[in-house]
Chains A and B, each alone.
Chain A
């Protein structure tokens, strides 16, 4: 038990340190303790909002990933692989194309897209005898590739100028953080993680089996609805603000489980903390490695995430 406290403390410390580091570095050298007017503007208008957006996006995707994995009894469940991210991305595209004047159209349609994708994958994966890992992964792959094709089709039909924006959406891009936009992502991240954490005990039972959970007193349908809705809100707001950042929802909960075990009362909130730190660090890398140019952050998370995942798979099996 004691070592868990240590690890938890280390997690929070890592998040704090990541944020401090991220604020301290960037493509411009800012002397943090003696800023002039323009440098202050750069720091507070550009850098800090971006760092906080990264934290919000990371927390949202990791918490949603942790909850979905437990609910669907599948360690491979993740918003990106399940097509939920692409659903949100497609919703965002629709908002961009048809409702470009309403700022709130994006997160709302992103949420709708995420929710619909979740529902479709769930329905497809469910069969008379329950939901096997294979069916779920297969359904996720089908939905995500189908949605990707639609996204690509739409970008081909659109003006070549708009195409630039969307290749970045599909790989995640935090550069479009506005000075105030990060508020609602952070708010959603906190609220969503709290909601998911509140269902953690039920998730612990659901993780073992839907029937088991039902038999021992979990209101399965209600919990499922809460988890799907909260995850869709989390994924929707994250994707609307920053595009589809992959691997966060997959890798972070796994690492957190390695450190804390499978108890969702720990895994969900700590995934949020660790996810925030992960994306903050990934984005800091994305915007400093080839400064003043930038990589899309999703490229960095994939570069770290994919090999890490292979390593985890080999350790497990």
Chain B
């Protein structure tokens, strides 16, 4: 059995004296898409940051490819995990190509210029995400959906085994939401990547996840396939709402409908 790309064992995280997360344990294999859901402020982003070394857990262990993350330097971590998060608007003109190339940082020395390998990787990802026509344009000229694709391309250019995505479709319209998720799914399948995705869209989670981690009150409420985790009970206990669970006729996946009284 090969090493899991990511493994969290009994993770607890404290912040400012408060316990944010407690006893979180799960793993992600190559080719697996895990989706992390839970109410806002439940600590999902903190969990993501813990998984890539940004936050130190109060107790527990984080392993990347079987190695403890505390023994790794930043570069090493960056070679294994790439992050897709909300993109900040920069005040400096940066082109799409420069932005994507930045994803190659961990592969290079700290000095000097990009290698041919770096350039090839960047072009490959820009093509994969349909960005070649924008390559020389400044990021500020692109639409929200286009910019998110660039952020994804950058993460892919890092050629890591694991991707972590923090609300990758948050500010996108319907068409771009579906597009992003399809793109992520496709890359994971074709390249055997693992992904940990945070989203608040339960139906998107149901459609794309291989496994779902439901977090509530800082604890793991459920872990398993969408059909197992997305139950009216679980969702009521975490979100405090009534839902109707049935099957989406278009794809056969779980469909969650909020009941508005």
Q: List residues of chain A with CB under 8 Å of any chain B CB.
A: 69-70, 73-75, 133, 198-202, 204-205, 207-209, 211-212, 214-219, 257, 261-263, 265
Pick the residue among B90, B102, B111, B112 that contacts A216 (CB under 8 A): B102
A208 and B106 contact, CB distance less than 8 A: no
B110 and A202 contact, CB distance less than 8 A: yes
B78 and A198 contact, CB distance less than 8 A: no
Question: Which residues of B sit under 8 angstroms from A207, Cβ to Cβ?
Answer: 90, 92, 94
A293 to chain B, nearest CB (A): 41
B91 contacts the other chain (Cβ, under 8 Å)? Answer: yes
A156 to chain B, nearest CB (A): 39
B64 to chain A, nearest CB (A): 13
Could you name 6 residue pairs across A and B whose Cβ atoms are closer than 8 Å? Answer: A198-B111, A201-B108, A215-B52, A215-B82, A217-B74, A217-B78
Within 8 A of A (CB), among B81-106: 81-83, 85, 87-88, 90-95, 98-99, 102-103, 105-106
Alpha-carbon separation in the docked complex, A246 to B184 (Å):
49
Given contacts A198-B111, A201-B111, A263-B98, contact A218 B105 (CB under 8 A): yes
Alpha-carbon separation in the docked complex, A214 to B52 (Å):
10
A216 and B88 contact, CB distance less than 8 A: no
Alpha-carbon separation in the docked complex, A78 to B143 (Å):
31
B77 and A265 contact, CB distance less than 8 A: no
B28 to chain A, nearest CB (A): 17
A210 to chain B, nearest CB (A): 9
Alpha-carbon separation in the docked complex, A205 to B102 (Å):
6
B166 to chain A, nearest CB (A): 10
Question: Which residues of B sit under 8 angstroms from A216, Cβ to Cβ?
Answer: 78, 82-83, 102-103, 105-106, 154, 158
Question: Which residues of B sit under 8 angstroms from A205, Cβ to Cβ?
Answer: 102, 105
Pick the residue among B77, B94, B108, B113 that contacts A208 (CB under 8 A): B94
Question: Which residues of B sit under 8 angstroms from A208, Cβ to Cβ?
Answer: 88, 90, 94, 99, 102
Chain B: residues with Cβ within 8 Å of the partner, total of 33
Residue on A nearest B90 in the bound complex, by CB: A208
A224 to chain B, nearest CB (A): 13
B102 and A74 contact, CB distance less than 8 A: no
B92 and A217 contact, CB distance less than 8 A: no
A218 and B74 contact, CB distance less than 8 A: yes
Question: Which residues of B sit under 8 angstroms from A74, Cβ to Cβ?
Answer: 91
Pick the residue among B78, B90, B91, B92 that contacts A215 (CB under 8 A): B78
B182 contacts the other chain (Cβ, under 8 Å)? Answer: no
List 20 additional contacts besides A215-B54, A215-B85, A261-B93; criterion CB under 8 Å. A70-B92, A73-B88, A202-B105, A204-B102, A208-B88, A208-B94, A208-B102, A212-B85, A215-B52, A215-B81, A215-B83, A216-B83, A217-B77, A217-B79, A217-B106, A219-B73, A257-B92, A262-B92, A262-B98, A263-B98
Alpha-carbon separation in the docked complex, A48 to B111 (Å):
35
B127 contacts the other chain (Cβ, under 8 Å)? Answer: no
Question: Which residues of A sit under 8 angstroms from B110, Cβ to Cβ?
Answer: 198-199, 201-202
Question: Which residues of B sit under 8 angstroms from A199, Cβ to Cβ?
Answer: 110
Question: Which residues of B sit under 8 angstroms from A202, Cβ to Cβ?
Answer: 105, 110
Alpha-carbon separation in the docked complex, A114 to B105 (Å):
31
Alpha-carbon separation in the docked complex, A115 to B113 (Å):
31
Within 8 A of A (CB), among B108-162: 108, 110-113, 154, 158
B75 contacts the other chain (Cβ, under 8 Å)? Answer: yes
Within 8 A of A (CB), among B204-247: none
Residue on B nearest A210 in the bound complex, by CB: B88
Task: Kindly supply a per-residue 1/0 record for chain B positions 43-83, scoring 1 wherever the CB is within 8 Å of any chain A CB and 0 otherwise.
Answer: 00000000010100000000000000000011101110111
Alpha-carbon separation in the docked complex, A114 to B83 (Å):
36
B98 and A217 contact, CB distance less than 8 A: no
Alpha-carbon separation in the docked complex, A215 to B141 (Å):
24
Alpha-carbon separation in the docked complex, A265 to B114 (Å):
11
Question: Which residues of A sit under 8 angstroms from B112, Cβ to Cβ?
Answer: 201
A214 and B74 contact, CB distance less than 8 A: yes
Alpha-carbon separation in the docked complex, A75 to B110 (Å):
24
B91 and A133 contact, CB distance less than 8 A: yes
Question: Which residues of A sit under 8 angstroms from B98, Cβ to Cβ?
Answer: 204, 261-263
Alpha-carbon separation in the docked complex, A218 to B78 (Å):
9
Question: Which residues of A sit under 8 angstroms from B52, Cβ to Cβ?
Answer: 215
Alpha-carbon separation in the docked complex, A133 to B91 (Å):
9
Alpha-carbon separation in the docked complex, A42 to B133 (Å):
61
B94 and A211 contact, CB distance less than 8 A: no
Alpha-carbon separation in the docked complex, A70 to B87 (Å):
17
B31 to chain A, nearest CB (A): 22
B105 and A214 contact, CB distance less than 8 A: no
Pick the residue among A75, A211, A261 that contacts B91 (CB under 8 A): A75
